[in-house]
Chains A and B, each alone.
Chain A
Amino acid sequence: MEKDTFFSISNKLEFPLPPSSSSSPMNHHHHQQQHQHQHQHLPEFLHVNWTHSGDQSATNGHFESALSSLVSSPTAPPVAGESVVIRELIGRLGSICNSGEISPPSSHFTGSQMAGKVSSPPTPMETEFKTAQEVSSVSGESNSRKRKSVMKGKAKETTTTTSIVNVSKGGEEDENVYAKRWKSAEDGKTKAEENNSGEVSGQKQGKDSNAKPPEPPKDYIHVRARRGQATDSHSLAERVRREKISKRMKFLQDLVPGCNKVTGKAVMLDEIINYVQSLQRQVEFLSMKLATVNPRLEFNMENFIAKDTHSMVHPLEAAAAAAAAAASAFPYSYQPQQGTTLEALTMQMQPHDGFADIPPQLGNFWEDDLQSVVQSFNNGSLPTSHMKIEL
């Protein structure tokens, strides 16, 4: 409803519309269209550059005071959605306009801007909505908070308000800088959780510190300090680190079998170390076993067609066995392309279905390191010391 008043007000301004529509009925139609596309158009009103000529100094002052009042007292609307917040802001703007008594010719409130922005990419508006949402979420919170990234938080806080202030003061460099910084910060933001509602009063502080050219966005991790906990930066960073570590320990707990009931970092670490050691020992033992087993090259192909629990390995093992069995025909020269070696393997034996899966996956996996290793395997007669050097 407040929106309607605002729309009607702007209607009174008789702003020039795009060439397709110039009469008032078209205005209404345009407005109705815009009603449907609310979210795209509402922020346009906020972004409007109301360039004020010199004779509007009186109304300018009124605008400033009204808008600053709007700015300094963020409402606590329900966190139902950004549209609610926007409507509130629009409503307030509408009230300001009502009392401001805008004179049509001097307002420069062009409808061409509105229409032009119908097809504009929605990203600036989306970001506008994001910050509006944050403002609403901010004002609803009451716990003590600590911003991990001071500049970012301040930029967010100031620019949501300054974007509205921009409406009236469309010229101050400071706010343009803030708007830019806000946009760049939006791009680089990873997780936004907090803003201090009390920081609105510290806006001026932020303005002073932010009077620099926009910096490249950094990848901050935003943290919220809980009630009754220390809020200095060191303890906060410590807490973040501890939470990260405990999260990863929990994941490790799932990996290591039989560690569900173990609690505590020290015992868990012991278990992990033991498990890794046992796995490495197993690899060593199995490799020894494979070394003793491998020289036996005689295999029957029918045995390998039998079903296996580990079905993925099965066709490849069959290939390996077949290749080993037909050692004489196996090509000795190692070729860097997987396709040729695969063909070599398949040539020796009956076609297996499993091979279709493997070649597409490999692509460019073969690197020089493994190639050299395999070549040294090929040569075979090198002593172990040589092996180490090549690895």
Chain B
Amino acid sequence: MHNNKYLKENPNQPLLAYHFIQALTRINLAAHTTSTKQRSHIIKHAAYVSMAFAAGNKRTWTHAVLHNRFPIKTRFHRLSGSRRSFIVSLSRNKETLHQAHLLRSLVPGGHAMEFSSLLMETANYIQYLTAQVRLMQCIVEKFDMHV
């Protein structure tokens, strides 16, 4: 099944790094005109965009990030959403339905997919998210080392 091949694709790390760092350099150049809060938001957007870029346009979530507006919300909104998942539900089906709804809201473009493809997209999304986080951690490390 060709689906399995999609699942086993590994994120193209150098490409991800290239795009993100290029975006970072651009942001750095304009650092004097933006506040820190603004810049953090812009950097977050740049992270998601470069992630979607490295993954290619074949994926539903990349399409949602790049073309539509994937609402990249702030931290506080997320936390309030997560509490709902632990509400005890009456039946198992209700709980899984709620979990599915939550997952759909997390993964960009998740509302338009059925459950099995949602899982596939989540897997791919997790792969790229971990790659992005590792990259950002490396960069921060580099900056911290050379204070």
How many angstroms between the C-alpha atoms of A147 and B41 in the bound complex?
54
Cβ–Cβ contact A341 & B29, under 8 A: no
A202-236 CB contacts (< 8 Å) to partner B: none
- Residues of B in contact with A (beta carbons under 8 Å apart): 7, 12-15, 17-19, 21-34, 36-50, 53, 66-67, 69, 74-75, 78, 82, 85, 92, 95-96, 99-100, 102-103, 106-107, 115-116, 119-120, 122-123, 125-127, 129-130, 132-140, 142-147
Among A279, A295, A297, point to the contact of B130 (Cβ < 8 A): A279
Q: Are A248 and B44 in contact (CB under 8 A)?
A: no
Interface residues as binary, A369-383 with B (CB distance below 8 Å gives 1, 0 otherwise): 110011001111101
- List 15 A-B residue pairs with CB atoms under 8 Å apart, sorted by A's residue number: A245-B115, A248-B123, A256-B126, A265-B96, A266-B99, A270-B85, A276-B125, A286-B140, A289-B140, A292-B40, A313-B138, A324-B25, A330-B25, A370-B50, A378-B30
Q: Is B96 a contact partner of A373 (Cβ separation < 8 A)?
A: no
A277 touching B82, Cβ below 8 Å: yes
- Asked if B45 and A269 sit within 8 Å, CB to CB, the answer is no
Q: A380-B34, A387-B41 are in contact. List 13 more A-B contacts (CB 8 A).
A: A249-B119, A266-B96, A273-B85, A274-B82, A276-B103, A276-B126, A281-B75, A283-B47, A286-B133, A321-B142, A358-B14, A373-B49, A381-B34
A377 and B23 form a contact (CB under 8 A): yes
Contact B137 A294 (CB under 8 A): no
Which chain B residue lies CB-closest to A221? B1
Chain A min CB distance to B96 (Å): 6
Contact call B27/A294, Cβ cutoff below 8 A: yes
Q: Is A36 an interface residue (CB 8 A)?
A: no
B31 touches A294 (CB 8 A): yes
Contacts A276-B126, A313-B135 given; does A370 touch B99 at CB 8 Å: no
* A interface residues, how many (CB within 8 angstroms): 77
Q: Are B136 and A290 in contact (CB under 8 A)?
A: yes
* Alpha-carbon distance A362/B15, docked complex (angstroms): 8
A171 to B106, CA, bound (A): 62
Asked if B42 contacts A276 (CB within 8 A), the reply is no
CA–CA, A296 and B143, complex, Å: 9
A352→B96 CA distance, assembly (Å): 51
> Is the CB–CB distance between A273 and B106 below 8 Å?
yes
A265→B127 CA distance, assembly (Å): 20
A residues less than 8 Å from B143 (CB atoms): 290, 293-294, 296
Are B144's CB and A293's CB within 8 A? yes
The winner among A248, A252, A374 for most chain B CB atoms within 10 A is: A248
Assess A280 versus B106: contact at CB under 8 Å? Given A255-B127, A361-B12. yes
Residues from chain A with a CB closer than 8 A to the CB of B130 are 279
Task: Please tell me if A284 contacts chain B, counting CB pairs below 8 Å.
Answer: yes
Chain A contacts for B67, CB-based, 8 A: 369
Residues in A with CB closer than 8 Å to B32 are 295
Nearest chain B CB to A258's CB is how many angstroms away? 13
A291 CA / B126 CA spacing, docked (Å): 24
Decide if B25 touches A303 in the complex (CB within 8 Å). Answer: no
Q: Is the CB of B18 within 8 A of A358?
A: yes
Are A286 and B137 closer than 8 Å at their CB atoms? yes
In the complex, the answer to whether A276 meets B24 with C-beta atoms within 8 Å is no
When the two chains form their complex, are residues A248 and B119 in contact, meaning their CB atoms are under 8 A apart?
yes
A237 within 8 A of B: no
Q: Do B106 and A370 touch (CB < 8 A)? A: no
Tell me if A9 is interfacial: C-beta within 8 Å of chain B.
Answer: no
How far apart sit A367 and B12, CA to CA, in the bound complex (Å)? 17
> Are A369 and B122 in contact, with the CB atoms below 8 A?
no
Nearest CB to that of B96 among chain A residues? A266
A269 touching B140 by the CB < 8 A rule? Answer: no
Tell which of A241, A310, A327, A369 touches B134, judged by Cβ atoms closer than 8 Å: A310
